[in-house]
Structure 1
Amino acid sequence: MEDLVSIIISTYKRDFELERAIESIIRQTYRNIEIIIVDDNGIKSEYHTRVKEIIKKYTKYNNIKYIVNEENIGGALTRNRGIDNAEGEYIAFLDDDDEYYPEKIEKQIELFKNNKSKKLALIYCYTDSYDEYDKKLNEYRYDYVGNCLFDSMCLCIAATSQWLCKRKALINIGGFNNVPSKQDSTVIIKLLNRGYEVDRVPEILVRYNEHSKERISQGSIKNIKGEEMLRLYCRSLYNNLNTNEIIKVEESFSYRLSKLYIKNNNTSKAHSEMKILKKINIYLWIKVNMYYILKKLRYKAINL
């Protein structure tokens, strides 16, 4: 019999897209699946009422669990509730506004069976992204495998919707940290720091649906705080890296944070990060400076 896969959907204020996510799981070619929908809207929310109505459409499916948070607790703790209620040997995640292509789980299970490493804990896949007008925006094709701790400190190699994980490995590292953002990178780094490995299916198996409002809000306090907390966590693991790798990790954080600070109009912190960049990568320093100048010009043009 096929191993059971638990797929966790955490939903918050996106009831209008939830049904599409559920349908993409139902269409999976891999059949032994349980769907765990964790409603993080809070029981007094109008969104919770609408999610309940959507769930009623799926009462004929006996493999769907519906879990409700009494109040909003955030994506990390919501996913942990899903893990606590999962029965599968493997766990996957799907954001409520994203969707799987039909062979996503089947291809990842196949690779788990073919990869003989006992340390393998997580398999991801390629993905593409579309805007709200169904225009293709990008493709994400990363090929980091094994224990790629250094690379995972420099960038997010795969977001949660791309994963298939061994449940025991997630439990062993304590699941998701309660951080405001960068939850995906934090989990991957925790796994790799514990000696686990990752692999990837070199195919696009997930579709991200991006929204203009979310792209605009990428300089939010939540995103900044998550990036700052991830840097502190990575710094606690620098004993695993050589000097050149540490410099590269610091460079990547300074580049991302300087742009986030600029978006959030925190020029003092932006300039502090830019000073670091100027010392270690003049090219990135020039890029951030150009970004800063263009932002100021746009602001002046709007306020003429």
Structure 2
Amino acid sequence: MSKSVSIIISAYNAVSFLERAVKSAVSQNYVKEIFIVEDGSLDNTYEFALELERKYDLIKVLTHVDRKNKGLAATRNRGLEFATGDWIQVLDADDELMPGKIESQLSLVRKDSAFIVANSLDVYADGRVTKRSFYDDGWRGLIVGKLGISSANLFNRLAIKELGGFDEKLRTSEEYDLMFRLMTCGHMPVFDPNYLTKIHITEGSLSRGKQYEEMFSRNWINLRKRIRAYLIEKGIFSNYLKYQYSGALGTFFQSYDLPIDNTVNKFYLNLYKIEKRIKKSIYTLFFNQYQ
């Protein structure tokens, strides 16, 4: 089975960390090509990317035709236009692939695999590292947002090209929208339990302003409602998934001070919150006991 990989690095105002992402990419096995796609940066990212192109043989720098900022989905799609590898590794410029990441995931590929979901590590500026773990139930993970993250996952190029790539109308939730569309075509994820991607959490990634928050919440909610509608249509919206949906969407509404709509079962929501409190209490008790 062919296993070449194209890496697409999206770069916007990324001068201070782009080379870290590039070094983590060039060290991977099975990499056929690496595209740095510059997204209308306000700093010298484009010029620095050209320096990296001269420094590393695998790198090709791309931009949008008009050099405007078009967002993450359009930037990844720009790389997809030129990619020829069997698999696509998207990588945000502030993230980092750990040694063996791609090889580990390719070892799990089956003939009909369309995408691989993996765990990752959140790395904070103060040195803290926390684990971001997936749920190994595809629909549950998709609903609650525990189905990996773009840089941790791996996608079959032909499978996502057939769907038209990432939805450029979205500026957030584009990777979960893509996974949802793959799953509606019968492509369920393969799971890699390793933690081989570092997501560097910076001040900019934590706070992007009120307009971004409104767009994020709108896209997050709309996607879950689309998932719910699809599961109902297919007759597979089980009580278990209704519980997960009500718990995830209801707590999301509450965290953003939004009114809870009638798609949320409030009994399930309250039960979900009790479950979370119990799990947190057990974890705290266990953690404190072994300090």
TM range (shorter): 0.7 to 0.9
Segment drifting more, 241-250 vs 163-172: 241-250
User: C-alpha displacement at 1:284, in angstroms?
Assistant: 5.2
SS of residue in 2 equivalent to 1:88:
coil
Aligned to 1:33: 32
1:173 equivalenced with 2:172 (yes/no): no
User: C-alpha displacement at 1:126, in angstroms?
Assistant: 1.9
CA distance in 1 between counterparts of 2:194 and 2:145 reads 20
Q: What TM-score, normalized to structure 2?
A: 0.82
Change (3 A) 1:74 1:154: same
Higher helix proportion (structure 1 or 2): 1
Aligned to 2:242: 246
Aligned to 2:191: 200
Q: Is the 8 A contact 2:3 2:30 kept in 1?
A: no
SS of residue in 1 equivalent to 2:62:
strand
Aligned to 1:280: 268
Root-mean-square deviation (CA, aligned residues, Å) is: 2.7
Change (3 A) 1:281 1:46: closer
Give the letter aligned to residue 236 of structure 1.
A
Alignment of 1:79-118 (within 5 A): 79-112=76-109, 115=110, 118=111
Change (3 A) 1:255 1:160: same
User: C-alpha displacement at 1:175, in angstroms?
Assistant: 1.2
Write the deviation string for residues 160-212 of structure 1: whole angstroms up to 9, x where unpaired.
10111111111122211131211121111111110012112221110110023
Q: Is the 8 A contact 1:127 1:208 kept in 2?
A: yes
Aligned to 1:221: 214
Write the deviation string for residues 240-297 of structure 1: whole angstroms up to 9, x where unpaired.
32341235324312221321x23xxxxxxx2435994644322556899xxxxxxxxx
Choose from 119, 126, 149 the match for 1:126. 119
CA distance in 2 between counterparts of 1:173 and 1:76 reads 13
Write the deviation string for residues 81-105 of structure 1: whole angstroms up to 9, x where unpaired.
1111101011111111100001001
User: C-alpha displacement at 1:51, in angstroms?
Assistant: 3.0
Give the letter aligned to residue 66 of structure 1.
V
Give the letter aligned to residue 161 of structure 2.
I
User: C-alpha displacement at 1:149, in angstroms?
Assistant: 2.9
Q: Is the 8 A contact 1:92 1:161 kept in 2?
A: yes
Choose from 48, 57, 65 the match for 1:62. 57
Alignment of 1:230-241 (within 5 A): 230-238=223-231, 239-240=233-234, 241=236
1:12 equivalenced with 2:12 (yes/no): yes
Change (3 A) 1:57 1:142: closer
Give the letter aligned to residue 59 of structure 1.
R
Give the letter aligned to residue 132 of structure 1.
A
Q: Percent of aligned pairs with the same residue?
A: 25
Structure 2, unmatched stretches of 5+, are: 277-291
Give the letter aligned to residue 5 of structure 2.
V
SS of residue in 2 equivalent to 1:15:
coil
Structure 1, unmatched stretches of 5+, are: 263-269, 289-304
Change (3 A) 1:202 1:52: same
1:24 equivalenced with 2:24 (yes/no): yes
CA distance in 2 between counterparts of 1:14 and 1:121 reads 30
